[in-house]
Chain A
Amino acid sequence: MLEDLFKTVKDRFNAEKSETEKVKAPEIPKDLLFKCPRCQSVIFMDEFEKRRKTCPSCNYHARLSWKERLEITADKDSFEPFDEKMNSLNPIGFPEYEKKIKSLQEANDINDAIATGVCTIRGYKTVIGIMDSNFMMASMGSVVGEKITRAFEYATENKLPVILFTASGGARMQEGIVSLMQMAKTSGAVKRHSDAGGLYITVMTDPTTGGVTASFASLGDIILAEPKVLIGFAGRRVIQDTIKQKLPDDFQSAEFLLQSGFVDAIVERKGMRKALSNILRLHNYKKQSDSWQHG
């Protein structure tokens, strides 16, 4: 089966080349194929895209950019962003930090590792936050912390629910202690929103780890996760080095967390909008309109 696939790839690839530059070796261009990091199976990129970036073999839900996530989650044209012009400073003077941020801002069309704002989902209005692992593994520094805090404060003031799609390598070490303090700052805002009766839904996506798991990501009233994603506190390699034995493959997977009691439900991408809008409805939030569009 795999051989067939490679043959087809080769044919397609060759078809795009002119007769004069015949390819000798069966070189596979990477951007034509997706190789699943969980089960190692390989599929065509266009099929992978069509399946909303999920693996047909093991159902791993791969990482999305904030724009891709927004597009499959929010009603069409409903998103109004917050704090798009916030720029991180360099608290400990980490070499080249500003430069790195600038190039990532340009590459990802966003000011830091999270997009926040309001949108509607099947007509239900909600504050939304989407972390983007393309931006420094969506680590949390000053800007991520401030944007999340403001999003919760806005939701508290306007009696809105909050939905966060979490993904992160953890605290942004390049910002030193300031990054650690963002865990306290965001969690404080979550707590105030919660004490005011607000609903907070966490959707854990690949990978949700470190200081983000140890703060706002774990504080949802309802915690959903996408299939097969990585969720944990400590890094797998750190644990492996500590215990000096190999860890089971499903360790720190969404399924592992469901079984240990730390996730309410695993929800597939294709059913996420329905699941989220249903939860909003169950908490008596009112529909803004019945004429929403999607896609």
Chain B
Amino acid sequence: MTLSATQRLEIIREKTRPTVNDYIPAIFNHFTELHGDRLYGDDAAILSGIATIDGTPVTVIAQVKGRNLEENKKSNFSMPHPEGYRKALRLAKQAEKFHRPVICLVDTPGAFCGVEAEKRGQGEAIAKNIAEFMTLKTPVISVVLGEGGSGGALALAVCDELAMLENALYSVISPRGFASILWKDPAREKEAAELMKITAENLVEFGVCDKIIAEPVGGAHNDPSATAENISDYLIEAIGRLTKIDIDTLLENRYQKFRKIGMFTEE
């Protein structure tokens, strides 16, 4: 049975939905966290480091949803500041140097909106990630785990393949924001969620999502380890496949993946 966007929205808001803190130990081995952007600071909204999966070293860059208020305060509810995106880029460049595939785990309502974020160039940080990931000479795989919110998600989602957990949503703005801006009525959130076409199935149709990873019935929280196994199986398969493609072809395919998205006519 296909669930509606609203039903999926409820599932991903489930308090016990697994986060990267659950998935990373279940999917990877030897995870070694690396901190800081070497420019300003260390952003706890992004957890990053090197690990192995099926014996292959990879760089992992993950957005951290907290499992409780305390964790969320620490990770700023998974809303990165510019230094978070710059840390991600530093680690991505490091991965390129050492020929490690990059795995991005996306789970954010969006980039943080605040005075300090503006002062330190939130727009520039996201823009640079998008441009640099486009030509990063190593395979990049992004998996949307829950919420993929706008530019804040895209900064970790310029990739060779984008996978989404079955109930994950990925959108240009939150349904609430959409309703509030276009209809001046945030209460029409559910209507917006249905209209916006933000489920994994919708995004496959738009050519944005390449793979839907199954969740247990009712959602990932019903069986986190089974969900982790599904993610792991997909990653192992995708890494094996993408590392076999020569780098020029890989980058051309990555460029074309985004190049072809757009809906218009020409007389």
* A residues at B contact (CB < 8 Å): 83, 85-94, 142-143, 145-146, 149, 171, 173-185, 187-192, 194-195, 210-211, 213-219, 232-235, 238-239, 242-243, 247, 251-252, 256, 260-262
Partner of A243, one of B115, B122, B265: B115
CA distance A189 to B170 in the complex (A): 23
| Contact residue among B114, B131, B154, B264 (Cβ-Cβ distance under 8 Å from A146) | B264
B158 touches A184 (CB 8 A): yes
Q: A184-B134, A233-B111 are in contact. Are A177 and B259 (CB under 8 A)?
A: no
CA distance A238 to B118 in the complex (A): 12
Contact of A185 among B128, B198, B258, B266 (CB under 8 A): B258
Q: Is B135 an interface residue (CB 8 A)?
A: yes
Given contacts A188-B258, A232-B118, A262-B121, are A239 and B113 in contact (CB under 8 A)?
yes
Residues of A within 8 A of B258 (CB): 181, 184-185, 188
Contact B197 A176 (CB under 8 A): yes
A241 CA to B150 CA in the complex, in Å?
19
Interface residue? B223 (CB, 8 A): no
Residue of B at shortest CB range from A95? B195
Q: Which B residues are within 8 Å of any A CB, using their own CB? A: 111, 113-115, 117-124, 126-128, 130-132, 134-135, 150-151, 154-155, 158, 170-173, 178, 181-182, 195-198, 202-203, 206, 208, 255, 258-259, 261-267
Say how far A149's CB is from chain B's closest CB, in angstroms.
7
**Known contacts A243-B114, A260-B121, A262-B124; is-contact A145 B262 (Cβ 8 Å):** yes
> Chain A residues near B150 (CB, 8 Å)?
171, 180, 211
Name the residue on A nearest B120 (C-beta): A260
Q: With A173-B178, A188-B131, A190-B131 given, is the CB distance from A242 to B263 under 8 Å?
A: no
Q: What chain B residues lie within 8 Å of A219 (beta carbons)?
A: 127-128, 131
Whether A214 touches B115, Cβ cut-off 8 Å, given contacts A87-B264, A185-B261, A262-B121, is: no
Contact yes or no, A218 B113, CB < 8 A: no
Do A180 and B154 contact each other (CB < 8 Å), given the known contacts A219-B131, A233-B122, A262-B121?
yes
Minimum Cβ distance to chain B for residue A206 (Å): 15
Q: In the complex, A210→B111 CA distance in Å?
A: 11
Contact B181 A173 (CB under 8 A): yes
Contact across chains for B262 and A185 when beta carbons are under 8 A apart = yes
A177 touching B208, Cβ below 8 Å: yes
Query: Judging by beta carbons under 8 Å apart, are B114 and A216 in contact?
Result: no
In-complex Cβ contact of B130 among A89, A93, A184 (8 A):
A184
| Least Cβ–Cβ distance between B251 and chain A, in angstroms | 10
Number of interchain pairs (Cβ within 8 Å) = 182
Chain A min CB distance to B255 (Å): 5
Contacts of A188 in B (CB 8 A): 130-131, 134, 158, 255, 258-259
Task: Give 3 nearest A-B pairs by CB, closest first.
Answer: A213-B123, A234-B113, A233-B123
Contact residue among A86, A90, A171, A252 (Cβ-Cβ distance under 8 Å from B172): A171
A102 → chain B closest CB, angstroms: 13
> Could you jot down 22 A-B contacts, CB within 8 Å?
A85-B266, A94-B195, A142-B263, A149-B259, A173-B172, A176-B171, A177-B198, A177-B208, A178-B206, A180-B172, A181-B206, A185-B258, A187-B130, A188-B134, A210-B151, A213-B123, A214-B151, A215-B151, A218-B124, A233-B111, A239-B115, A251-B115
Q: Within the assembled complex, what's the spacing in Å between the Cα atoms of A281 and B81? A: 38
Are B203's CB and A177's CB within 8 A? Answer: yes
Q: Which of B111, B115, B264 has the most CB of A within 10 A?
A: B264
- Within the complex, the shortest CB–CB distance from A246 to chain B, in Å, comes to 11
User: Closest approach, in angstroms, between the C-beta of A59 and any C-beta of chain B?
Assistant: 22
CB distance from A81 to the nearest CB of B (A): 14
Task: Assess the B267–A234 pair: CB atoms within 8 A.
Answer: no
Give bound CA distance, A260 to B154, whole Å.
24
Report the separation of the CA atoms of residues A105 and B151 in the bound assembly, to the nearest whole angstrom: 28
Q: Which chain B residues lie closer than 8 Å to A260 at the CB level?
A: 118-121
Q: Give the Cβ gap from A186 to chain B, nearest Cβ, in Å.
A: 9
**Are A234 and B118 in contact, with the CB atoms below 8 A?**
yes
Give which listed residue, B173, B198, B262, contacts A182 with CB less than 8 A: B262
Q: Known interface pairs A87-B265, A262-B121. Does A242 touch B113 (Cβ–Cβ under 8 Å)?
A: yes
CB distance from B84 to the nearest CB of A (A): 14
Q: Enumerate chain A residues within 8 angstroms of B181, measured Cβ to Cβ.
A: 173
**A144 → chain B closest CB, angstroms:** 9
Partner of B206, one of A171, A177, A185, A233: A177
Chain A minimum-CB-distance residue to B152: A214
B155 contacts which chain A residues (CB < 8 A)?
Answer: 214
| B131 contact from A179, A191, A213, A262, Cβ within 8 A | A191
Most A-side CB within 10 Å, residue of B172, B206, B263: B172
